[in-house]
Amino acid sequence: MRISIFGLGYVGAVSAACLAREGHTVLGVDPDQVKVDLINRGCSPIIESDLEPIIKIGVDGGRIKATSDPTHAVLNSDLSFICVGTPSNGNGSLRLTFVERVSRTIGEALREKEIYHVVVARSTMLPGTVDNVIKPTLEEASGKKAGQDFGLAVNPEFLRESTAVYDFYNPPKTVIGELYKKDGDLLATLYKGINAPMFRTSIRTAEMAKYTDNVFHALKITFGNEVGKICKALGIDSHEVMSIFCQDTKLNLSPYYLKPGFSFGGSCLPKDLRALIYKARSIDVDVPVLNAIFQSNKSQLEQGLRLIMAKGKKRIGVLGFAFKAGTDDLRESPMVELIETLLGKGYDLKIYDRNVNLARLRGANKDFIENRIPHISKLMMNNLEEIIYHSEVLVIGNKSDEFVNIFKELTPDQHVIDLVRIAESIETEAEYEGICW
């Protein structure tokens, strides 16, 4: 199938690479010429495990191209994916600027196209977004009718950053929300080789399914952290407690996200939780548990700060800057807030993160690093040994494999604050303390 993908960020780049790998012809579309050029050179525009070799094979085989010309992409494809960002507004509602812009662009291209074309929303959007924003925008810009002249569907993604390629081929489920059955039929053919249950449903149900997943993941992280703090106060190993809890896969659903650790962050959970809370408030539905999640998440950040400051030391080394290992994503990373708070209190900080260092050279977060947090960027070190030598207190901020091996190098006068449970068993001469264990 000929596929155009609008937006070459995490979701778009991974989808483009994996669909091309399955034999489809993919045209990636993005207004950022740097991303377009990277793709056309066979390079990945993001830091993501296993992605770049797949892109290179696709480009070399003529199955992947990128362009900044949306009309060319629509006219030369059978199906278009919308994979642009849906960040938060200040009040928690979704900013749909990019979705509206892309919908209008696709609609204008559809005006020139005579054959039936299916538009698929893969971006995460609240229920009603397709009906109230995408569909009317497409119809107005194209002068055509959905279901009659073009198709419309929703296909939420279940990709975790740092394991996105694996997740594409091993999803927990495939969800297709369709305006008409023929639209879903075409989309379903893309997933014939994927071994996962497929759910064909309405567009609004598919939109809500993604939010239900993400908000529940946010709740699970906070729940695990609160259990961990109680366990620590009682002298109980919180990870042993949660390991027993997670054996119940019949009632407790899944062990994922149920490990006590640091605050959640990233590009999905905070904004999607905000959006659902805002939606509930707008229709006068009380959601006290959801409202409490951010308060508890902030309290976990404050707990980490208290542990660091209680050591009474000034030289702090932070290991792991992105919100999780294996990615360069700094969007709403709690580590950024922790670092900025410590800087404001006069601490002497040095920071190390291999993937964020790579992102300073290229990648989706290059602009963010250079322009939004240049004061933090200046504190970043390229050498792990140097930061270990500098620090009186080492703070482990994500589960990068290289941090497991630092403990044998530490001295008795050093302290480690572990926010992620880097290993189940720690042997070190340094003073070691976990945030919840």
How would you write the pLDDT of the chain (437 residues) with one tens digit per residue?
Answer: 999 999 999 999 999 999 999 999 999 999 999 999 999 999 999 999 999 999 999 999 999 999 999 999 999 999 999 999 999 999 999 999 999 999 999 999 999 999 999 999 999 999 999 999 999 999 999 999 999 999 999 999 999 999 999 999 999 999 999 999 999 999 999 999 899 999 999 999 999 999 999 998 998 898 898 889 988 988 899 999 899 988 988 767 666 777 899 999 888 889 999 988 999 889 888 998 889 999 999 999 999 999 999 999 999 999 998 877 877 778 788 999 999 999 999 999 999 998 887 665 566 567 777 777 888 878 989 889 999 999 999 999 999 999 999 999 999 999 999 999 999 999 999 999 999 99
Domain at 213-434, CATH from 3.40.50.720, 3.90.230.10, 2.40.50.140, 3.40.50.620? 3.40.50.720
| Architecture category of domain 2-201 in CATH | 3-Layer(aba) Sandwich (3.40)
Q: Do domains 2-201 and 213-434 have the same CATH topology?
A: yes
pTM over 0.75: yes
Q: Domain-by-domain residue ranges, the chain?
A: 2-201, 213-434
Could you give the residue numbers annotated as active site? 268
Contact 415, 394 (CB under 8 A): yes
CA distance 180 to 30: 28
CA distance 349 to 426: 24
